[in-house]
Structure 1
Amino acid sequence: MGGVLWRLAPMIYGPTVLFALGEGAVIPLLPVIAAELGADVPTAALVVSALVVGQLVGNIPAGWAVARVGERVTMAFGGVLALGGVAGLLVAPSLPGLAAAVFLIGFCAATFGLARHSFMTTRVPLAYRARSLSLLGGTFRLGMFVGPFVAALLLAMLQDERATVWFFGACLIATVLLVLLGPDPEVVASPSASTASTGDDVDTGEAVTGSIPLQRRAGVFRTMWQYRGVLSRLGVAAASLSAVRSARQIVLPLWGVSIGLDAQTIALVVGVSGAIDFVLFYASGQVMDRFGRLWAALPAMVLMGAGFVALSFTHDLTQSALWFALFAAVLGVGNGLSSGILLTLGADVAPQADPAPFLGSWRTLTDAGGAIAPLTVSALAAAFSLSIATATMGVIGLLGALAFLRWVPRFVPRES
């Protein structure tokens, strides 16, 4: 099975890299495009947030589509539909039209993420599931990491921010062609008998191991009700991790501005934190496969939770810039160690025979955590202070660590 995955790596990971590369090139320019249509800063932020909302809304329909027509058709349709979003970015006459195009791209991004998540759940043996899923998460991070540099190069060459939109369109066309013309991993890689499921017809709240074949496909909402126990417990813990990750992306730039750093220094600190995050993505999978899920989840959550709490006390210190750089690095380490955890835990607790409907619910829950975090930070910073907002996210991270400690051993079939 491992040989098949290695041979089909371009088909398995390639579409995610291409989509993320194009998306990563476009995202930094969305506020600029919005400003050209007359948006002020808050309105531009609202337009950009449509991407997260689209992905959040798209998870459940994507789960339904993958369960009914398969990963290949769903990804191809999502790629074609995303081209409509690209066209909207190019010709949108107004801010509502631009927001709709951004929403559509986020909606389609959910199809790529869920399709490959479902594929890995059913076809990757448990022995190296975490490494495979961490690599999947790493391919997305690679695209989002390299994309802004591609955008900078295109801007330097062509002096037109819409060149990045055309680049995204080219990436989408390549993605669709790769999906349709390459060998289908769903056909070549048969479902793995080694994967485990914690599913059962009735949710007892207890951990269940072993593959349980389903006689008929359950609908998305039926699946949500059937697995309400794991979603409301382990799923909420996973949402807290997603929230802390998302908070890092907004807290660090705001903190740098708040303590008076210039844009270049802030970009350097955030960039180093992101680089640390990226280089550690595979280490998380190694730890989870060799020692168990908690050995990656707990250090990641404790580092990020404690890092936020500690950072909240440094705002008015003499060496605030130095502390900012230090704790940005700590948050980068924590985030890097968390790579693949949400994907792996979702695969661990999903029904192996038909995981897509469950994964749609799981990813909706985790994406909701990521979507709510920036709103929470903004609200608390406006009502109290940025230090209070930062400390609150740290407390959420530490509580999330306790939740993982409580629920991972109960619901995940293997811890070693």
Structure 2
Amino acid sequence: MTPGTPPIRVAVLGAGTVGAEVAARLLEHGDEFASRIGAPVVLAGVAVRDLDAPRTPALPRELLTTDIENLVLGANIVVELIGGVEDARRAVLLALESGADVVTGNKALLATHGPELFAAAERVGAQLNYEAAVAGAIPIIRPLRDSLAGDHVLRILGIVNGTTNFVLDRMDEHGDDFAGALATATRLGYAEADPTGDVSGADAAQKAAILAGLAFHTTVPLEAVAVEGIERVTADQVRAGRAAGYVVKLLAICERLTGPDGTEGVSARVHPALLPRSHPLAAVRGANNAVFVQSEAAGDLMFYGAGAGGRQTASAVLGDLVSVARRHVVGGPGLVPQPAGADLPVLDPGVVRTRYQITLSVRDEPGVLARLAGIVAEHGVSIETVEQSRASDDGTASLIIGTHAAPEAALSATVEALGAAAEVESVAGVLRIEGLERGDAA
């Protein structure tokens, strides 16, 4: 570090679990960060809503402020960790327009207003980094943005929500039903008091939009991500999957596709799916996250680790901070990792090819299976496996049909037709099957 090098002033917005950890580590390890960056690092302040709220770790009161605007305007780098969308958007735009670089872990902000923020950063030559926005401590943004920039990413399968992975893991390993597994997750702190954003798939959808944009160099609007949560996954489905050699996971899936007219496009979706237990993602347990990338040249890559937690997410934030701060020392234009270049269309989810496992409650009568097989065939779908349970006292039996790969639209129409059949009492559940050889499942 050259003597007399001016300090880099850092403003932290938000002092929740992650923000307080980031601020505390900057104070505790300031000399170490300075040696890596090549300049002193000064924590200019921490913006909070309540000066008196308890925080862990504790922060010096003199660093706390409720005046976001003045704090932002006096900083070289702004770390946005306040969460939400609109307040965060205003703060980030203020920072970028003032010429400050920004580090954020706000997935909702980027999924909703990413193009606007990237454009603002590009106008002034500022940096906008967001490694912590997807999968916590796992380095996945930089590999997609930098390491694989010269490759052709084909597909991403991601377990990117720790709450849902914990719930489904409990259902698989302990036989819990959904409500029991979620109650355990809440009691142990893996689920929020209101877990709707997690179990509905909304959180994973925001991350899928970000990953798809980076992987395919195209803007993928959040509303274009097809989403299905885990609320309807039953213990019976999990047990049946386990018996057949599968595990149920909530997957964020981003892939390149060719549409019916030959047009190349992309798809992003989130839904629970059956994965073969031989697949690397099947071994991701508890609240951990993992992202499995398939690319043309590099082949299959997997990134695994803690997807949440104050210290873990702070690690990703501080990694971005060091990278951003180095530019202030060595100079050069800002790095704006916006999803751009290919401008591929986002294709209708109906063109995606996958497999279904359909669980039906059917009348226990002769000829039922043949009639239902005819309905499936009428929709251009072929049956791969059939499993039937013994009849129950009410005269019904459980029938589990596994299909070969087919377009999502055809499979969805098949389920609707089966549900309307006189022989079918109810459609007990539908799960997609993913992670098989690419030619069959994508």
TM range (shorter): under 0.3
Structure with more contact order per residue of length (Cα contacts < 8 Å, sep ≥ 6): 1
- What is the TM-score with the length of structure 2 in the denominator? 0.25
> What TM-score, normalized to structure 1?
0.26
Between structure 1 and structure 2, the one with the greater Rg is: 2
Q: Which has the higher strand share?
A: 2
**Larger fraction in helix:** 1
